[in-house]
Amino acid sequence: MAKESLLKLLLCLAFVIAAVGVVAADEPGPVNPVAADGESASSAGPSGTAALLADDEVKSANIKEADGTSGQNTNTGSGIKTNHIQNSAVTGAKIKNSAVTTTKIAAGAVTDAQITGPIKASKIGFTGLNADLLDGLHSWSFSLSTHAHDATYVNVSGDTMTGNLTAPLFIGDGAGLTNVNHNKTTCPSTKYAPFTKIIFANSTLCIARDTYEQTWNTAQDSCNTVYAGASICTHQQVRRACHQVGLALIADSWLADRINDNYALYVNQTYCDDFDGISEVLTTERNGVYCCLEWMKY
């Protein structure tokens, strides 16, 4: 029994010693200063108090992350959190050259308002650029900076041209044209008898006589197909040519004027004031036909 009592006493002493050690570990001890390398220094401040921290002694590696449970803001990841840095606290002087790379910048984070000064050409990509286009227009859509509205251009308010003006397609009725010189109108060329150009005061007349023996209907077709779209000349066209400029008439030639059903005029003699004969048109053939093209002057 004495041995058992001694053993129990020793166990009780061991528990007491262990409890005292735990309490001592929980008591706050003297605070050591932080060394230059961020580790704890061995010396204490005056009178056993903690020494004051010098500038730049605390490193980010020695700062414990926010735990999110004690009223602190916390974000995912490691290191100092975004919400713990004051606005404008990080300046350009605090960032090492080349420390911030493209992969560290979130897409869309840098906007136009955040860029000042010119951007170097080396920072601009050339993929997809077209030096010949501006707003979808090619270079030929713009005038040179040296151009001037001089004699090279036609003035819309009125101008004088010394050379020819070629207009393959003229749109309009020409009602606004004045002082048009029809004297230079050229009659079209033909495969057979050539046109004779006659210039009147109010028109230009191109007249030709086809010598093919034919009926009136066949003669009309010949004028149109052989003589550049012409028609059989009317009595008054042939009379003006004969009476005003002395065109020599040739008898037995069809004229365009129809008298009544199946009858038309033809040249029956060479007298300018009386050359109108009447002939049947369906079966009767004449030795020629007068074909005319005429342009009026306005």
The rounded mean pLDDT for the chain is 77
- Residue 206, judged by CB atoms within 10 A of its CB (0-12, 13-18, 19+), counts as buried
DSSP secondary structure letter of residue 12: H
For residue 122, tell me if it sits in a domain. Answer: no
Query: 145 lies in a domain?
Result: no
Q: 84 lies in a domain?
A: no
pLDDT tens figures, 63-115? 666 665 655 555 555 556 656 677 777 787 888 888 788 787 888 778 877 78
Number of domains the chain is built from? 1
User: Does any domain span residue 109?
Assistant: no
Task: Please check whether residue 240 lies inside any domain of the structure.
Answer: yes
Retrieve residue 219's tokens: 């003669």
In this prediction, residue 6 carries a pLDDT of 60
Instruction: Yes or no: say if 19 and 26 are a contact pair by the CB < 8 Å rule.
Output: no
pLDDT at 157 over 60: yes
The CATH code of the domain that includes 217 is 3.10.100.10
Tens of pLDDT, residue by residue over 232-255, are 999 999 999 999 999 999 999 999
DSSP string across 231-272: EEPPHHHHHHHHHHH-PPP-SSEEEEEEEETTEEEEE-SS-T
Q: Looking at residues 43-52, what average pLDDT do you find?
A: 52
pLDDT of residue 98: 80
Q: Could you tell me if 275 and 269 are in contact, meaning their C-beta atoms sit under 8 angstroms apart?
A: yes
Domain with 218, as residue range(s), is: 182-296
Q: Which residues contact 113 (CB under 8 A, 6 or more apart)?
A: none
Residue 235: in which H helix or E strand, if any? helix 235-245
Locate all alpha helices (DSSP H) within the chain, ordered by sequence. 2-26, 216-226, 235-245
Q: Is residue 56 a part of any domain in this protein?
A: no
In a domain, 115, yes or no: no
Residue type, 5: S
The secondary structure of residue 40, as a DSSP letter, is B
Would strands 276-280 and 288-296 be described as parallel, antiparallel, or unpaired?
unpaired
| Range in 47-61, 167-181, 191-205 the model is least confident about | 47-61
Q: Residue 132: what pLDDT?
A: 66
The answer to whether residue 204 sits within a structural domain is: yes
Interstrand relation of 276-280 and 263-267 (parallel, antiparallel or unpaired): antiparallel
Q: How far apart are CA 272 and CA 206, in angstroms?
A: 18
- Cα 182 to Cα 150, 202, 253, 294, distances in angstroms: 29, 9, 28, 11
* Total residue length of the chain: 298
pLDDT at 105: 82
Q: Which residues, other chains included, contact 218 with Cβ-Cβ below 8 Å and sequence gap of 6+?
A: none
- The DSSP H or E segment spanning 294 is strand 288-296
- What's the pLDDT tens digit per position in 136-147? 777 777 777 777
For residue 238, the model assigns a pLDDT of 97
Task: Return the pLDDT at 38.
Answer: 44
